Amino acid sequence: MLKCSYENEGGCGSCLFASKTIFHSLSDSSFKELHDNRINLFVKRKQNIFVQGNIPQYVYIVRKGKIKVFIIGENGKEQIIRVAKEGDTLGYRSLLNDDKYFATAVAIEDCELCAVTKTFFFDEIERNPILAKDTLTLLSKQLRISENRMFSLAYKSVKERVAEGVIMLADAYGFDDDGKTISVQLYRKDIADFAGITVETAIRNLNDLRKNNIIEIDNKRITINNEPELRSIANYKG
């Protein structure tokens, strides 16, 4: 079995990453059970973690790497609905709904994940009120984010949505040591899919931001030179 880079001989109970996840409240016995009910996944860039329409079997915890989650519209175009990074949880909403995946998750870069079985997840929720509460809290936060995204797509201008997309990606992935460059390679298509526009329109609006020295673009990396102005353009208070 592929070995988790966070645990030692003590198994999941010794995992240095556990405190960052919704499973932080597990007892020692539950951690031992978790060790037998999870799979270590190492996913290459551009590979799928799960696919829209498939039947869910796991809850995914992102240990390393960055992931985009998107739906495919009727016109076949991707619409990015969220981005995920280290510590984030994926796939749990479809399990809770007892429904097929409503979205697809693809690795933006090489990723390491922990896939926890559906059976263990539900059993632990029944006996662990802290996990149940944390799951509801996470679900509530994701619902609020989804509602904000729906409002943006419905009512904001293209310029606002492009600026908002850059900010949300920066908030999700953080910055390099310079405190300005977003810590992920971003393709113009990703910005377009996030803003719900064509690539050509995304390029035009990104170039406008660049010309005004609000951002810089170099080799698929975006540097934010003036974050207050970018947030003002986006009308974003997240």
Residue 150 is predicted with a pLDDT of: 78
The sign of the dihedral angle between the CA atoms of 101, 113, 116, 172 is negative
Let me know: does 113 contact 63? Beta carbons within 8 Å. yes
Strand partners, 107: 67
Q: Distance between CA atoms of 141 and 127, rounded to whole angstroms? A: 23
Q: Distance between CA atoms of 139 and 93, rounded to whole angstroms? A: 7
Lowest mean pLDDT among 177-181, 193-197, 207-211: 193-197
Let me know: does 65 contact 43? Beta carbons within 8 Å. yes
Model confidence at 15, pLDDT cuts 50, 70, 90, reads low
Model confidence at 123, pLDDT cuts 50, 70, 90, reads very high
Q: Distance between CA atoms of 184 and 143, rounded to whole angstroms? A: 25
- Which alpha helices (DSSP H) does 75-128 contain, by range? 92-97, 118-127
pLDDT at 13 over 60: no
Q: Distance between CA atoms of 50 and 43, rounded to whole angstroms? A: 11
* Closest-CA residue to 86 (of 162, 19, 11, 178): 19
Residue 7 is predicted with a pLDDT of: 60
Q: Distance between CA atoms of 25 and 229, rounded to whole angstroms? A: 41
Strand partners, 52: none
Check: pTM over 0.85? Answer yes or no: no
Residue 171 is predicted with a pLDDT of: 81
pLDDT at 157 over 70: yes
Q: Distance between CA atoms of 48 and 9, rounded to whole angstroms? A: 30
pLDDT at 18 over 80: no
Query: Quick check: helix, strand or coil at residue 207?
Result: helix
Let me know: does 17 contact 113? Beta carbons within 8 Å. no
Q: Distance between CA atoms of 197 and 216, rounded to whole angstroms? A: 21
Q: φ and ψ at 106, to 5 degrees? A: -130, 140
| pLDDT digits 0-9 by tens, 82-109 | 888 888 999 999 999 889 998 999 998 8
Residue 62 is predicted with a pLDDT of: 92
Q: Distance between CA atoms of 178 and 167, rounded to whole angstroms? A: 16
Paired tokens of 146: 């989804």
> Beta-carbon neighbour count of residue 117 at 10 Å?
16
Residue 2 is predicted with a pLDDT of: 55
Rounded to 10°, the helix 118-127/28-35 angle is 170
pLDDT at 111 over 70: yes
Q: Distance between CA atoms of 100 and 123, rounded to whole angstroms? A: 20
Q: What percent of the chain has pLDDT over 70?
A: 92
